Amino acid sequence: FFFFKQKTAYEISACLVGSEMCIRDRRRVHGDSLIFHRVIKSFMVQTGDPNGDGTGGESIWGGEFEDEFHPSLKHDKPFTVSMANAGPGTNGSQFFITTTPCPWLDNKHTVFGRVIKGMDVIQDIENVKIDKNDKPLMDVKIITIKIQQ
């Protein structure tokens, strides 16, 4: 990943590397404990929920945090990394990676990075078998993650 947004990037990087700040239900959450809980072909793959079902993911900032839109950061390419939310100002820990350009998401979801290596892995995730709720039939886990600054 290449990160763009300050608060958003700190949220995701803290949770993915298992920072003390990213504790859920008295247990530390690491990137390697997360699954991709939502996969929609020709759209995106989503993760970041410690519950693994799309219902969880409190921010390290305590609850939800504001959007961080910037006019130069768009969903204009595949492999854009963006915050999942339930409307304005509802960012938590969930995020998604697009697999196609998604301009309708601009100024609705905070873009904070791009995948710069491993696009084939994202495409493999995009092609797993899913149930009627877009959840993979078998867990697709983040095994390890390394964030470079």
pLDDT tens-digit readout, 34-92 = 899 999 999 999 998 888 999 987 777 778 889 999 899 999 999 999 999 999 999 98
Whether the pTM exceeds 0.85: the reply is no
Active-site residues, by number, are 38, 43, 46, 85, 96, 105, 109
Please classify residue 95 by burial: count the beta carbons closer than 10 Å to its beta carbon, then call 0-12 exposed, 13-18 middle and 19+ buried. Answer: buried
Question: What was the pLDDT predicted at 44?
Answer: 98
Distance of alpha carbon 28 from its chain centroid, rounded? Answer: 18
Residue 142, helix vs strand vs coil: coil
Residue 91, helix vs strand vs coil: strand
Return d(Cα 67, Cα 83) in angstroms, integer: 9
